[in-house]
Amino acid sequence: MSGHSKWSTIKRKKAAVDAKRGKVFTTLIKEITIAAKEAGGDADSNPRLRQAVSSARDANMPQDNIKRAIMKGTGELPGVTYEECTYEGFGPGGVAIFMEVLTDNKNRTVAEIRHLITKYGGNLGENGSVSWMFDKKGQIVISKVGQNEDNLFEDSINAGAEDFDSDEDSFIVKTDPIEMMSIRTALEGNGYSIDSAKVEMLPKNLHKIEKNQSEKAMVLLDAIEDHEDIKSVYTNLDFED
C-alpha cells in the first residue's frame, strides 16, 4: 500500500451502511450548506461546493435535497447555521485521532467528543497535537470491476495524479487536494466511473498497539464516526495483525 489507510477502506464500507440510515446524507447536507454560504450557490465558480455536490451525487442523494441544501446556504431558504472545526486526540495505546466536525453547537459537540474519548481510555488534545502525523491528500476511488490496472495507472498519472494504490475491491488514485476535482474530470472524460472522490488525512506512519487496546480503539473510532456532528475521523492505528 502506498499512502493508503485501511481505515479509509473500513469507512467506505461503513458509509454504505450509514447511508441507509441517513448519516451520510446529513453530513453531506451540512457540507453543501457551509460551502454555499461560504462562496455562493454556483458550483462552477465554487470549487468546494462542486466537490460537495459531487460527493452527494456519488452517495445517490436526490437532486431536490442538494438544491435545498444550497438554498439554505445562500439564504434563499431558512436553515440552521453550521460551523466547521477540527478536534485532535489520542485513543487507547496512544493512537492518533483527527476529527473533522460540522456542528450547530461547538460547546455541545466538544463536550460529547471529549466524553467519548475519555470513556475509552483516551484524551482530547490541543490543536496541532496529532495533525502533523497526517498528510492531506485527494483520494479518487474506482471499482476494480472491469478495469485494466495498467491503463488506469497510466491515465491517472497523465492526468496529474501523485500516486496509485489499491485495496481488495478498489483502485485509489492519490492527488494533491487542489487538483483532485480536475483529475476526477479527466478520468471521467476517459470513461472511468468514479465511486467517490474525497480529500482525506492519511497517516504518515502507522502505530501498532496490543490486540486488546486495538479492539478498544476500534470501538472508540466507530463511536466517534457514528456521532451526528462528525464529518470524518482519521487514525494512524495499524489494523494488521
Q: What is the pLDDT of residues 163-210, one digit of tens each?
A: 999 888 899 999 999 999 999 999 999 999 999 999 999 999 999 999
Closest CA to 30 of 190, 229, 205, 241: 229
Cβ of 105: how many Cβ atoms within 10 Å? 13
Q: 111 and 209: one domain? A: yes
21 assigned to some structural domain: yes
Share of residues in the chain with pLDDT > 90 (%): 82
Cβ of 188: how many Cβ atoms within 10 Å? 14
- Cβ neighbours for 231, distance < 8 A, ≥ 6 positions apart: 27, 30, 31, 84, 100, 101, 102
> Alpha carbon of 69 to those of 56, 175, 202, 227: distances in Å?
11, 28, 29, 21
pLDDT, one tens digit per residue, over 5-17 is: 676 777 766 665 5
Examine the pLDDT at 115 and tell me if it is beyond 60: yes
61 assigned to some structural domain: yes
pLDDT for position 240: 67
pLDDT, one tens digit per residue, over 9-64 is: 777 666 655 655 678 899 999 999 999 999 999 999 999 999 999 999 998 899 99
pLDDT for position 19: 58
Grid-cell match 462528525, residue found: 230
Question: pTM to 2 decimals?
Answer: 0.87
Q: 117 and 218: one domain? A: yes
Closest CA to 22 of 60, 72, 70: 60
- The residue range of the domain holding 24 is 6-74
Alpha-carbon gap, residue 33 to 12, rounded angstroms: 23
192 assigned to some structural domain: yes
Say which CATH number the domain at 220 has.
3.30.70.980
79 assigned to some structural domain: no
Alpha-carbon gap, residue 33 to 15, rounded angstroms: 20
Any idea what DSSP says for residue 132? G
pLDDT for position 12: 65
pLDDT, one tens digit per residue, over 131-166 is: 999 999 999 999 999 999 999 999 999 999 999 998
Q: 48 and 92: one domain? A: no
